[in-house]
Chains A and B, each alone.
Chain A
Amino acid sequence: MPASLWPSWAEMLRFLPEIILTVAGTLIMMLEPVLGSRSRRGLGQFALAGLSAALAAAVVADGSPGPAFSNMLVVDGFATFFRVLVLAVGILTVCSSYPYLNREGASSGEYWALLLFSITGQCVMASANELIMVFIGIEISSISSYVLAGYLRDDKRANEAALKYFLLGSFATAFLLYGIALVYGAAKSTNLAVVRAAVEKGEAPLLLVGIAAALMFVGFAFKVSGAPFQMWAPDVYQGAPAPVSAFLSAGPKAAAFAVFLRVFMTAFQGVSDRWAPVVWISALLSMSIGNFAALRQSNLKRMLAYSSIAHAGYVLVAMAARSQSGSAAVMFYLAAYALMNMGAFAVVAHVAGKGERYVEIQDLAGLAQRQPLTAAALAVFLLSLIGVPLTGGFFGKFYIFKAALESRLIWLAVLGLLNSAVAAYYYLRILVVMYMEEPGEVTNGLGPLPLGLKAALAMPVVGLLVLGIFPSGLLDYAVKSAKFW
């Protein structure tokens, strides 16, 4: 037992990003009724400032790694990587949401507050060292995201998205929680390191551990939209407001992968040869279902949703490798994926127009002639999603399949690579529409790109090109921090 219930300053520092986010979110909610309508607009900037401060705090906290709050949380390279990632996703989300909400006339403080709370949850997930913290982090993140998905209250599509997201998300959480309860019973603790030791020493009953791992797998697979638990993703991404879809496909997903990886690589490390085949099958299914369904979509958001299922499949390939380089590949890929998907959704948000009326692929016709820079940015994102060199997506895939081969997952690598070649087709189709067709009604009536969206496009483009040409820095950091004791 700790001598004092009051945590030390070092522990507070390690938890500082979450503290900043919570305070900022609460402040926004408290300030909103006090402020006049004009200064309310500044709340978005305030959220941006909060996120930036949290980002800085996360970087600073990396300087004093270690556990916090009686080992409930741990700040290590892995946690920092994902905290920085979700905070960056948050910053991009604010940039693309700001003009979007103004256009929809739906700007309000609660949006920013919910966003900050959701990211708080993801930060907790990233640094959770304990299954109950995993659960709480996931719930903080999810409950806020449910509301965000249905933020446009009067929009039928958004309602439906929120409902489906909520029902299936809670359903998945229940599985996860049941798994946690069984782990607790089997290993007499929910601390990851203790559980790992109990499993490896054979103290925990194998049957119970097996059932627990299976249940938790179901829960996590739901959260990362991995097959066969991916069915909510298309509806939710299609119905939610575009910037929220962008956020959901990057932030919660990355954080969910972070805990997925951490739990399965530590607590269930001892039985990894049992769960590896399951991940193998799930990876293959996710890639194939995602890609082949995406081929048939005409709705841009729905297509991106299926593509995000496929990309979850690629990440699962790296997880199936069960190695340090596999975990590093997961991290690198999620970073690149967050950038490219956020960027692509930002373009969708721009083109969709008020009320998101134009979300068909065909609506992009001739974008390259009307707004060449927007089109070029989308081209970079799509090429990165395909995995073409000079973009981050290439090295992301490269590391994944390298890790897979290293672990002798030859067939999974072959099938995955073939999948990625098939996937090229539907991304290229967008390029065709954008570059080769004459501008239509939609692109002709397109307003100029607002400042926020400019930032939400420029940052990912630069990031992807840097990752695509000089991947070394990020990869080295990922490899270094992907050590699970």
Chain B
Amino acid sequence: MDHLLSIVLFTPLLGLLVLLFLPSSNKNLIRWWANLASFAGLLVSIPLITGFDRTKDFQFVETAAWIPSIGASYHLGIDGIGLVLVILTTLLGFLSILSSWTAIEDRLKEYYAFFLLQQVGMLGVFMALDFLLFFVFWETVLVPMYFIIAIWGGQRRAYAAIKFMIYTLIGSVLMLLGILALYFYHQSQFQVLSFDIADLMKTNLPAGVGWWVFWAFFLGFAVKVPMFPFHTWLPDAHTEAPTAGSVILASVLLKMGTYGFLRFSLPLLPDTSRNPQVVNIMAVLSIIGIIYGALACLMQKDWKKLVAYSSVSHLGYCTLGIFSLNPAGIAGSVIQQINHGISTGMLFLIVGIVYERRHTREIAEYGGLFKVMPVFSMVFLIAALSSMGMPPLNGFIGEFTILQGAYQMSFNWALWSAVGIALGAAYLLWLFQRTMLGEASEKNGKLLDLSPREIAVFAPLILAAFWIGLHPKPMFQVLERPVAQIVERVRPGYFAEHKLASPLTTPAASLR
């Protein structure tokens, strides 16, 4: 299968094209088709897992000419980090479409079309090995999300959608400048026009330029993550978006930012990335994000907004892990990104389910749901425990590994992020107590428990949460090599210096 990645990438597009020709009056046909198409998208991505060879770097590579005159090509490939994110995308893409079955009633065709288009964009971001191609996919994702918020969103959807779009646009146009600067320096040093990441990596940027390019990239990625102080679009977008939109936004879209740091900022600009000043700024912003997000959660009256702010806090761990610049931090960060996709995805689905039944997100309106909806409450409990990092669930693995990494850099980092973990437990347990425990009021007394379809949505996520929590080894193994590549790139000789066996040399040696 030479074109496996292309197949995975374009299956949703194919589904989209067929979808456009279905009659919009036949709602069930559209629903079935969209679900089928996204399920097919999930299925075709499974061979990626089985065919993945963790002793190699980029795999399933495809190259084709695209705009040869400026050195941009259609170049796809994934390493371990790309693999887990692609799988996360196909899984959550399917689940979010599945979860919309009853939630969305009008303009179904456009709704599913935007989801499928978005799926293509997100997959492209995680697969592209050409910087321009990456940028095209990166920006493509904006449009469907804008429409999803703008059309199917809540009361203040116009404001939220425009804010989301403008914030990200400003970030990404400046990132584009950074890309171009790098591109021209590469050209002047090698007399070759290329947007290929492998080529750009060879560029030797003067220190001052590297500094500016780093911050240009930073703006693009930090807005997406979102890092403090660029996070303000997030609570609005999340609160106003329809449930499935929030799920995709939190679970996958935000990861594009952290992925950007891992794939571009660190490997392309290693000198700037290990500059202590830069590292300190990034760590401080991450820690502020962690603490601020958690404190904001404690003050929210709106259930969905609370979950949104918890994203700010959790993504803070991810960026902190990345800028620990050691294997533990980075691997932990990737795992935490997946975890956040799973747990926050569940939390948003949970809000969506009660919202669909009660049409309010005020936490004060709820209470005592445990007795009314026991299955639902169990799911919520699992999601909350996973989100707060309780063993044996997945969150624990991610946060613990990041703490390990952060501790190697500085005791203070670890201390503050531990404070964040405590706060995380506080707001989630408090939320659980306020909504699930106590006596059910009259309005909540007759709420229906989860339907089989809703259970089907949660089941894979819960399984994944337990699987990563109990048996994280395969995950670490897949990530070992790409993470080591990044660390070696940013801190050459790291493994030798710390007397560690480098995954870059050992498996290859043992193979020979």
Contact = CB atoms under 8 A, between A and B. Distances in A.
A and B touch in the complex (CB under 8 A): yes
Interface of A: 369, 372, 383, 386, 388-390, 394, 398, 401-402, 405-406, 410, 413-414, 417-418, 420-422, 424-425, 428-429, 431-432, 435-436, 470-472, 475-476, 479
A437 B402 CA distance: 46
25 contacts: A369-B107, A388-B139, A388-B142, A390-B136, A402-B183, A405-B180, A413-B177, A413-B180, A414-B177, A418-B173, A418-B174, A420-B169, A424-B165, A424-B166, A428-B146, A432-B162, A435-B147, A436-B150, A436-B158, A471-B67, A472-B67, A475-B67, A475-B70, A476-B69, A479-B69
A406 B142 CA distance: 28
B447 interface: no
Nearest to A414: B177
Contacts of B415: none
B493 interface: no
B174 A414 contact: yes
Interface in B135-163: 135-137, 139-140, 142-143, 146-147, 150-151, 157-158, 161-162
Given A389-B137, A389-B139, A436-B158, 8 more contacts: A369-B107, A421-B166, A421-B169, A421-B170, A424-B166, A428-B166, A431-B147, A432-B150
B140 A390 contact: yes
A428 B157 CA distance: 13
Contacts of A470: 66
Contacts of B143: 383, 388
B166 A475 contact: no
A406 B184 contact: yes
A417 B166 contact: no
A425 B68 CA distance: 33
B176 interface: yes
B135 A417 contact: no
Contacts, number: 84
Contact of B177 (A369, A405, A429, A432): A405
B285 interface: no
Interface of B: 66-70, 107, 110, 135-137, 139-140, 142-143, 146-147, 150-151, 157-158, 161-162, 165-166, 169-170, 173-174, 176-177, 180-181, 183-184
Question: What 5 pairs across the A-B complex have the smallest Cβ distances?
Answer: A417-B173, A389-B136, A421-B170, A389-B139, A421-B169
Contacts of A429: 162
A422 B173 CA distance: 11
Nearest to B141: A389
A401 B176 contact: yes
Contact of A472 (B66, B136, B162, B166): B66
Contacts of B136: 389-390, 394
Given A414-B174, A418-B173, A436-B150, A425 B162 contact: yes
Contacts of A431: 146-147, 150
Nearest to B158: A432
A52 to B, nearest CB: 30
B151 A436 contact: yes
A340 to B, nearest CB: 15
Contacts of A398: 176
B161 A432 contact: yes
A389 B150 contact: no
B386 to A, nearest CB: 35
Contacts of B110: 372
Nearest to A417: B173
A432 B149 CA distance: 11
A420 B173 contact: yes
Contacts of A410: 177
Contacts of A436: 150-151, 157-158
Given A383-B143, A424-B169, A436-B158, A389 B135 contact: yes
Contacts of A413: 177, 180
A433 B340 CA distance: 35
A458 to B, nearest CB: 15
Contacts of B169: 386, 420-421, 424
Contacts of A386: 169
A435 B170 CA distance: 23
Nearest to B138: A389
A417 B177 contact: yes
Contacts of B184: 405-406
A248 to B, nearest CB: 29
B134 to A, nearest CB: 11
Contacts of B147: 431, 435
Contacts of A472: 66-69
Contacts of A388: 139-140, 142-143
Nearest to B133: A389
A439 B453 CA distance: 34
B139 A394 contact: yes
Contacts of B66: 470, 472
A432 to B, nearest CB: 5
A418 B177 CA distance: 11
Nearest to A419: B173
Nearest to B159: A432
Nearest to B139: A389
Contacts of A425: 162, 166
Given A418-B173, A425-B162, A435 B150 contact: yes
Contact of A401 (B139, B162, B177): B177
A401 B70 CA distance: 14
A406 B147 CA distance: 35
